[in-house]
Amino acid sequence: MPIIVVEVMPKAEILDPQGKAVAGALVRLDKSEFSAVRIGKRFELTVEGPITDELLAEAREIANDLLANTVIEDVIYVGEARPADDAQGA
């Protein structure tokens, strides 16, 4: 089944305590070359047929109305799975 991917990130100016905790763990693991971490969300919306413009428009609508709270988060991607996504598990 084809999937539409929606990615949401906390707004840059908003503190991300989860990311901060992970960044602290990286320092303890001696990986301090990664100076900051921010954690967002990825939604995979399965659709029955081919991905059409109408479905993408619908996905954008629910991304902004439900999946993200645009007061505190930004929707950064709505679309088909990208080539890099296919490398999962490789």
Partner 1 sequence: MRVGVITFPGSLDDRDAQRAVKLGGGEPVALWHGDHDLKNVDAIVLPGGFSYGDYLRAGAIAAHSPIMSEVITAANAGMPVLGICNGFQILVEAHLLPGGLVRNDHGDFVCRDQKLRVENVNTAWSNDFKEGEEIIIPLKNGEGGYIADQDTLDRLEGEGQVVFRYLEVNPNGSANDIAGISNARGNVVGLMPHPEHATEAGFGPDTRAAMRSGTDGLTFFTSAISSLMANA
Q: Using CB under 8 A as the criterion, which residues of the chain lie in contact with partner 1 when the complex forms?
A: 10, 14-15, 17-18, 20-21, 66-67, 69, 71-72
Please state the closest distance from residue 88 (CB atom) to partner 1, in A.
23
| Measured CA angle at 54 (ends 11, 39), to 5 deg | 20
Q: Give the nearer residue to partner 1 in terms of CB position, either 4 or 67.
A: 67
Structure tokens at 16: 């991300």
Rounded distance between C-alpha atoms, residue 90 and residue 81, angstroms: 16
How near is the Cβ of 18 to partner 1 at its closest, in Å? Answer: 7
Nearer to partner 1, 5 or 51 (CB): 5
Classify residue 77 by its DSSP letter.
Answer: E
H/E segment holding residue 31: none
Question: For strand 3-10 and strand 41-46, is the pairing parallel, antiparallel, or unpaired?
Answer: antiparallel
* 59 vs 67 by CB, closer to partner 1: 67
Give the shortest CB-49-to-partner 1 separation in angstroms.
Answer: 26
